[in-house]
Structure 1
Amino acid sequence: MNILFFTKGDRKVGSSRLRVWLIAEELQAKYGLHYEVFHSVHYSVFSFTVARFRIFSEIFSKIRDTQHQILFVHKSLYPWDVVLLILAGRFLLRKRLVYDLDDAEWEHSFLKTWLLTKSAHAVFCGSHPILEWVEKHTPHAFFIPTVVDAVLYKSFSVQHKKRQQVTIGWVGVGRGYFQDGHFGILKPALDELWRKGLSFRFVVLGAQNHQPLKDYFNEEAYETIFVDELDWAGRASVPRAIHEYQFDIGVMPILDTPFDRAKCAFKAIEYMACGVPSVASRVGEATYLIQEGKNGFLAGNTDEWMHALQRLIEDADLRGAMGKQAQETITLHYSYEHTISQIYEILNTQ
């Protein structure tokens, strides 16, 4: 089996790395599949440069290549001529088409998303809200969450114990997260907990040297640590940082919008894989991932955020018990060990 992957970015781009590059490597290592990744197609459909036609010609050649039996398309962020070329490969050249969604692409590219969904032999859905949308348009929908190497992450498990200062941690793309307003959900709870006398620090992994984000938190009295960049292409980079900074609690505040509702809750998945209990907004995939009071907490307003964080800050035994349950959840449902065989079976049968 030989797969031609299309994705928006290289290994440093989070969704591309997690949904394409690492999955391709796992399929090759476990089943001997061959693959090629075509990425970073960013020209405008109205561009008439030599570079644009060179890229188009290269894509055309790769789709025509008989060694590529499967076209695996991640997202719909491609110029229209590339989308039509992929569809021609599906219908004229009889290639099998797999479409992979880990965002609410229909919110900004409805027609492309609808066409690829209707045309695909299988649609991989990174969250249950995505699955619900896709099932309205095709019977070939499969829940394929964004997953981690559970064994690798477990090797960076955080050991929970009583501390004078508890670490609340966040990981992600700080600039975009701040600009979209998600930190505004968390900050009032942190501010109030500090005023109540609870001792904690806040660690931001992926601040990207974004000064407005730093200013937003630096005006407060509690300690905030900003780690501007990680080696995002490295498999162990995030779990190593979670362990290095000894996250006691992982947080995932997210606004309840149609686009954000479809997110894959990957921040919480990474915390939980390291044995760190999460507090997350009661939005989207988090409501399937987190079992309230067992492997984490869900919060819908400032009072709920405060209550969940305070319980975890004050009780190391609770953090340890929840962290253990969280790790079991990831191993059973959000790991390569669980998912890669499922992907391989779908690729072979659809």
Structure 2
Amino acid sequence: MTVTYFSKSSSIGPSSRYRVFQFLPQFQAEGIDCRVEPLFGETYFSILEVRSRALQTCLKIPYVLARFLKRLGTVLMLNRQDLVVIEGPLFPYAPPVVERVLRWLGQRVVVEMDDAIYLTHGHEAKIPALLKIATGVIVGNDRLAAYARQCSSYVSVVPTVVDTDRFVPLASQAATSPCHADEAITIVWMGLAYNLKYLHVLVPALRTLQSQYHVRLRVVCSHAPKLAGIDVEFRAWDFSREVTDLQDATIGVMPLEDTEWARGKCGLKLLQYLAVGLPAVASPVGVNSDIIVNGENGFFASTEDEWYERLHALCGRPHLRARMGAAGRRTVESRYSLALWGPRLADVYRAFAAGKPNQATPHPAQSPVSSHRHSTRAR
């Protein structure tokens, strides 16, 4: 089976890395020849780091035009494929003309979304049109599926997952040792720079905790945050350290605002925390509410007071951290692991390629993400 996947970026981009690149060995084992054609590469992300908005624009325009032309050439030279998968639109902000041509030529085109891109400027009308053109749609959670089903009858929910052979806990005795006031407690947040704004809800809790424990906030990102009065340990994100920067932390956090955009997120950082055995505190927004069972594998926090209470409980109770961390690891292994979803995504591809999209998602009773309170299911 041949698949061409038009990704948003090279493997440096977290969305593309976790939605396709990590699956390539799995696809090969399943007999699927998947060729990935990224739109943007490392240069694009370097341009985004330029502080001067004017200079950034001057660099971005020719780069984007060059990449658009390269992608157009790739599409024009595309041989008949069993399946063509597009991560979002082929050409952001441009009308879906090329996608229509691909369908007219008889290609089976599947659109994949792991964010509520339909809310972004310039995509409000384009995404519905694109979904109606497509053979089918793959989305990362039920919120996105509910939207996609307004435009397509063939929607498959495949959650974002992590490689549990790569994201593993560190064996440590510290988790069960008595808690001392001078014990170093590292609260970690990993993410993209435009999500740093979510950290501000933690500031009052962190200030209070710093007066009670030896607490620091580790931020793994491309930019350091500006959080007055907070002991911040900044680490520039690096793929080679992506796992180790989490493994030696104490608690993972994922604050979000309760917005329609946030409800469409797929909870990647939360899954990364749980996979390495960290207890996590998260906002009960979107898929977070499916991943966390409050008080069992993590805590929910909505207000500044709740953030303090939940973090204080974990800072002062190492046995609770150990219990929740172990439960979180089990959650990822049983419901959100690459080992489970690799063959399932291969089946999704095969079903769409065979023109049998109603078979494109595992039956709810068999799905590893099904539970008494988990809503990611296929119909």
Q: TM-score, normalised by structure 2?
A: 0.79
Q: Which residue of 2 aligns with 1:190?
A: 206
Question: Which residue in 1 is equivalent to 2:344?
Answer: 342
Q: Tell me which amino acid in the other structure corresponds to 2:244.
A: R
Q: Which amino acid aligns with 2:7?
A: T
Q: Partner amino acid for 2:191?
A: G
Aligned residues between the structures: 328
| C-alpha RMSD of the superposition | 2.6
Q: Determine the structure 2 residue equivalent to 1:31.
A: 30
Residue correspondence of structure 1 range 33-72 to structure 2 within 5 A: 33-40=32-39, 53=69, 55-62=71-78, 65-66=79-80, 68-72=81-85
- Contact residue 189 and residue 252 of structure 2 kept, 8 A: yes
Unmatched 5+ residue regions in structure 2? 45-58, 353-379
Q: Does 1:172 align with 2:226?
A: no
Which SS does the other structure have where 1:241 is aligned? helix
Aligned to 1:110: 124
| 3-state secondary structure, aligned to 1:38 | strand
Matched residues in 1 for 2:6 and 2:184: separation? 45
For 2:133, the equivalent position in structure 1 comes to 119
Deviation at 1:166, TM superposition (A): 1.6
Task: Indicate conservation of the 8 Å contact 1:149/1:336, yes or no.
Answer: yes
Change (3 A) 1:346 1:157: farther
Structure-2 separation of matches of 1:8 and 1:295: 33
| Post-superposition offset of 1:141 | 1.6
Which residue of structure 2 lines up, in the alignment, with residue 12 of structure 1? 12
- The alpha-carbon distance between structure 1 residues 40 and 48, as it changes in their structure 2 partners (threshold 3 A), is closer
Deviation at 1:53, TM superposition (A): 4.6
Map of 1:134 onto structure 2: 148
Match of 2:110 in 1: 98
* Divergent runs of 4+, >3 A: 41-55, 79-83, 155-159
CA contact (8 A) 1:158 1:247 kept: no
Amino acid at match of 2:328: A
CA distance in 2, matches of 1:249, 1:52: 42
Amino acid at match of 1:71: V
Give the corresponding residue for 2:284.
Answer: 282
2:218 match: 203
Q: CA contact under 8 A between 1:60 and 1:85: conserved in structure 2?
A: no
The structural deviation recorded for 1:130 is 1.1
Q: Against the structure 1 CA distance between its residues 54 and 123, is the aligned structure 2 distance closer, same or farther, given a 3 Å change threshold?
A: closer
SS, match of residue 183 in structure 1 = helix
Residues 70/51 of structure 1: CA separation in 2 closer, same or farther (3 Å cut): closer
State the shift of 1:313 in Å: 0.7
Q: Quote the Cα distance in structure 2 between the aligned partners of 1:311 and 1:50.
A: 52
Conservation of the 8 A alpha-carbon contact between 1:148 and 1:336? yes
Amino acid at match of 1:3: V
Mapped partners of 2:305, 2:142: distance in 1: 27
Identity %: 25
Asked whether the equivalents of residues 3 and 34 of structure 1 are also in contact (C-alpha less than 8 Å), the reply is yes
Query: How far, CA to CA, are the matches of 2:63 and 2:237 in structure 1?
Result: 33
TM-score by length of 1: 0.85
Q: CA deviation at 1:257?
A: 1.6
